[in-house]
Amino acid sequence: FFVLTAFATNHQNDMFKAILESPNQVFELIKILVLSACLWNGFLNIIKASGLIKQLSFILKPILKLVYGKAVEDQQIYLYLSTNFIANLLGVGSLASISGLKAMKSLTKYQTDPKVPCKEMMLLVIINTTGLSIIPTTMMTLRQSYGSHDILGFFSYSLIIGFIITVVGIIASNVIEHYG
């Protein structure tokens, strides 16, 4: 349809130019996102190596205990959950996936039915999906790569919406767990 429209309106040159430029634009965008992820992964590794991740985990323990309950008493699960939470707060969702997958695998011991995820698994999915981020690095990188004059123009909205959605998701999960 768009090809016929381009020829009918005499815009075929513009259409073919856009088609031929698309792979280059996609490559540049992927390159920027991958390099940004590498940078933040490096920072996350430095945070882990310096022991700061354990300090941050200690500070987050009451919050994570409130959300995940008894699961945080298992040190290995707690390490995965806290690393995942910190990576999400840093806005590095792709890196949070690694610890999230490890946490998900560790949480299988709380399942009563292997085909049905436990409450802790559902909460992990909710928290990873809601997008609560104090430093939304991926969004900042995207805005910068597209030439935004204010790469943090969305920040306050992102923080408020992410917080509200996360709280609503956790409450909904608890209500479903209680009444379901």
pLDDT tens track for 63-113: 999 999 999 999 889 988 988 888 888 777 667 788 889 999 999 999 999
Q: pLDDT value at position 9?
A: 92
Q: pLDDT value at position 3?
A: 84
| pLDDT greater than 80 at residue 151 | yes
Q: pLDDT value at position 131?
A: 75
Q: pLDDT value at position 105?
A: 94
Q: Which of 147, 153, 149, 151 is nearest to 137 (CA)?
A: 151
| pLDDT greater than 80 at residue 57 | no
Q: pLDDT value at position 91?
A: 77
Q: pLDDT value at position 94?
A: 67
The whole-number average pLDDT for the span 31-41 is 79
Q: pLDDT value at position 140?
A: 85
| pLDDT greater than 70 at residue 29 | yes
Q: pLDDT value at position 180?
A: 64
| pTM (whole model) above 0.85 | no
Of 31-40, 68-77, 109-118, the poorest mean pLDDT is in 31-40
Mean pLDDT for all residues in the chain: 87
Q: Distance from CA of residue 108 to its chain's centroid?
A: 21
